[in-house]
Structure 1
Amino acid sequence: MAKERLGVLCSGRGTDLQSIIDAIGRGEVAGEIAVVLADREGAYALTRAREAGIPAACIDRKAYERRELFEEALIAALEEAGVTLVVLAGFMRILTPLFVRHFTGRILNIHPALLPSFPGAHAHRDVLAYGVKVSGCTVHFVDEGTDSGPIILQAAVPVLDGDTEETLGARVLEQEHILYPKAIQLYCEGKLRVEGRHVRIIE
């Protein structure tokens, strides 16, 4: 069976990307990264990819007048690389229906909170402001909403007295680096079945 070809979209440091690169290197993910794309040139994720010998490019959002044109450029680059699964790894852009429909059922994202609680770009801040005792991370399929797609896996992390966004974020990130490769491997093995809002894991 042909390996899944991953296209990883990033905006920043690329630590989740690195966890996927490392997991593939250990033989824990039966896929290959075909291309890494970032929406800004300064994203360190591009450096990580290039150091690992993975094709990488910047498709700068600022270079496009409209979001649809930017997404069309992303789609073209992913298709050219033969991508079969799109992996969002710290990609700080909301994708429009144009993009989501092109890759329906083939986009994964990881969010640094226990969805459906605390969606959006400031999860750790919102978690601390609300005063919950448990946070974590969620891997989900991407749909046309914001952090609203069917949930694949979750991991819980305690919120400690005195936590800051940085300290909580660091503990959550540790779990992200474990959880995301696991979810990608389940997809690569064909073990995920979406039934409405539910994702069944087939053993």
Structure 2
Amino acid sequence: MSKLKAAVFASGAGSNFQAIIEARDLACEIVLLICDKQNAGVIEIAKKHQISTFVFNAKEFASKQAYEEKIISELRKKEVSWIFLAGYMRIVGSTLLQAFPGKIVNIHPSLLPNFPGKDAIAQAYQAGVNKTGVTVHYIDEGIDTGPIIAQESVAVFSKDTEEALKKKIQEVEHQLYPSVINQLLQTK
């Protein structure tokens, strides 16, 4: 039986993308990277692993609907059935949500609903919390408001720097996300 095909959307360095594609016995084949930053590090990771990429500049499109329609076209060409966001710094719009209902998942570096949106690690660090973590959730039209699939907490110690906290959170992300992907795909 052939594996389901999935795409990863990312905008940055690509550490979660790397963790997903290097996960042992992943229940899907990552066939496409969608990226909105022309020089993001994640693109080099995709090239190294011979994964197709679609890199776009949102400003070159008339609207969010227009670039999401182009993304959908690229996803259809590769027969993608699931989308995993891994540091994708754009809000997913209704065009993409309607094309992949219940099949778009995100990882967020906090225990949602705490610290949604950008810079969640910095928000948690500055708030002085003693616990934060990682959330994997379905995407909806809000910002980090979709139904939660899994969470794992990370202790914050007084000696932690923001950078140390980021590293602890990334270690959890790199284990949790591939595990959750497998659980989702094995039950669908």
Tell me the TM-score normalised to structure 1 length: 0.88
Q: Is the 8 A contact 1:40 1:61 kept in 2?
A: no
Equivalent residue, structure 1, for 2:173: 176
Structure 2: which 5+ residue stretches go unaligned? none
Structure 1: which 5+ residue stretches go unaligned? 192-203
Alignment: residue pair count = 188
Partner of residue 114 from structure 1, selected from 106, 111, 115? 111
Equivalent residue, structure 1, for 2:16: 16
Which string of whole-angstrom CA distances, capped at 9 and with x for unpartnered residues, describes residues 133-191 of structure 1? Answer: 10110001111111111111111111121433322111100100000001100111016
The code of the aligned residue for 2:140 comes to: D
Structure 1 residue 98 displacement after superposition: 1.8
Secondary structure at 1:189's aligned position in 2? helix
Equivalent residue, structure 2, for 1:55: 52
The code of the aligned residue for 1:138 comes to: T
- CA distance in 2 between counterparts of 1:152 and 1:2 reads 25
Q: Which runs of 4+ in 1 moved over 4 A?
A: none
Partner of residue 143 from structure 2, selected from 143, 146, 152? 146
- CA distance in 1 between counterparts of 2:65 and 2:161 reads 37
- CA distance in 2 between counterparts of 1:118 and 1:92 reads 15
Alignment of 1:93-172 (within 5 A): 93-172=90-169
Secondary structure at 1:73's aligned position in 2? helix
Structure 1 residue 85 displacement after superposition: 0.2
Alignment of 1:22-101 (within 5 A): 22-23=22-23, 26-27=24-25, 29-101=26-98
Q: Is the 8 A contact 1:59 1:73 kept in 2?
A: no
> RMSD over aligned Cα, in angstroms?
1.3
- CA distance in 2 between counterparts of 1:124 and 1:8 reads 22
Q: Is the 8 A contact 1:10 1:92 kept in 2?
A: yes
Tell me if 1:6 matches 2:6.
yes
The code of the aligned residue for 2:114 comes to: S
